[in-house]
Amino acid sequence: MSGPILIFDSGVGGLSVVKALREQMPGAPLAYVCDNAALPYGTKPDIWLVQRIVQVCRAAVAASGARVLVVACNTASTLALDALRAALTIPVVGTVPAIKPAAALSRSGVIGLLATSATVTRPYTDNLIRDFAGHCTVVRVAADGLVEQAERLLAGEPVDGAVIDAGLAPLWHAPTLDTVVLGCTHFPLLRDRLNARAPRPVDWVDSGSAIARRVAQVAADESGGSVSGLSWATGSLRPGLQAGLATFGFAAPAVLSASVIESAM
């Protein structure tokens, strides 16, 4: 029996990738794990994060019997892909901010990168911009507050428009900016809200479709044999978390306890 495709994120942001995976591979069984006990990742030390990400993913892969791990988190991908690939025997697909397609799409040559503080400042991001957007002006904006707003939206709680406005505001200082990279997997969940509060039309670009295409390349598109819709979490099972996962067809999450996570090393 072949295992599911396991999507990993610190919170519910990876659900934006689930949507793209279901469009690309409609019959493939999916499972989900979120390290909500350590949310948000962007404020944690790098060395601690790498160890934590490997532990949680090893424990979740063992629990799910996954055949592919999708790291649907930009912070985790820029830090821990090599460590995960060394620790696991299954394929690991990471998330890369969509700098390349945004640079190709922009007509003005001025693009925004809307991401968390960790992603905005990574050398990994510097290299992406150098390699694929060297001819563009890239306005980097750290909008950590949008992560919580996406979590609130999926939980059915009110979204604070003032927080969204504050997160977007630095983009509008560039009058010819016409394309924005959503460099955190949480942010596509807010796309309609972002678009509604933008003072002028822009194209919003994310990595979901590219991730889904890559997963389809490394995983056989099997429609049966494995249980789909299982999920795990590392922290308290707030009603909002369960509601968000249920919206995307996942069962209430089981808990990956600290002892299970620590024993995964």
- Extents of the domains making up the chain: 5-95+209-262, 99-206
Q: Which amino acid is at 44?
A: K
Which architecture does CATH list for 99-206?
3-Layer(aba) Sandwich (3.40)
Q: Which residue has the tokens 């308290």?
A: 236
Within this chain, domains 5-95+209-262 and 99-206 share the same CATH topology: yes
pLDDT at residue 265 in the model:
57
DSSP-assigned letter for residue 227:
-
Radius of gyration of the chain measured on its C-alpha atoms: 18
Q: Which of 189, 33, 175, 35 is nearest to 112 (CA)?
A: 175
Q: Which of 261, 262, 265, 245 is nearest to 253 (CA)?
A: 245
pLDDT at residue 225 in the model:
55
Q: Could you give the angle at the alpha carbon of 219 between the alpha carbons of 218 and 223, nearest 5°?
A: 160
DSSP-assigned letter for residue 158:
P
56-115 residue pLDDT tens: 999 999 999 999 999 999 989 989 999 999 999 999 999 989 999 999 999 999 999 999
Q: Which residue has the tokens 């067809």?
A: 249
Q: Which residue has the tokens 């900016």?
A: 177
Q: What integer is the mean pLDDT of 45-53?
A: 92
Question: Which residues on adjacent β-strands are paired with residue 9?
Answer: 34
DSSP strands (E only) in 21-82: 30-34, 68-71
Question: Which residues on adjacent β-strands are paired with residue 92?
Answer: 69
pLDDT at 19 over 80: yes
Q: What integer is the mean pLDDT of 48-54?
A: 94
Q: Domain 5-95+209-262: state its class.
A: alpha beta
Catalytic residue positions, numbered: 73, 184
pTM for this prediction: 0.90
pLDDT at residue 41 in the model:
83
pLDDT at residue 35 in the model:
95
What is the phi/psi pair of residue 123, to 5°?
A: -55, -35
pLDDT at residue 1 in the model:
46
Q: Which of 250, 37, 234, 56 is nearest to 242 (CA)?
A: 250
193-230 residue pLDDT tens: 999 999 999 999 999 999 999 999 998 655 555 667 99
> Mean pLDDT for the chain?
91
27-36 residue pLDDT tens: 899 999 999 9
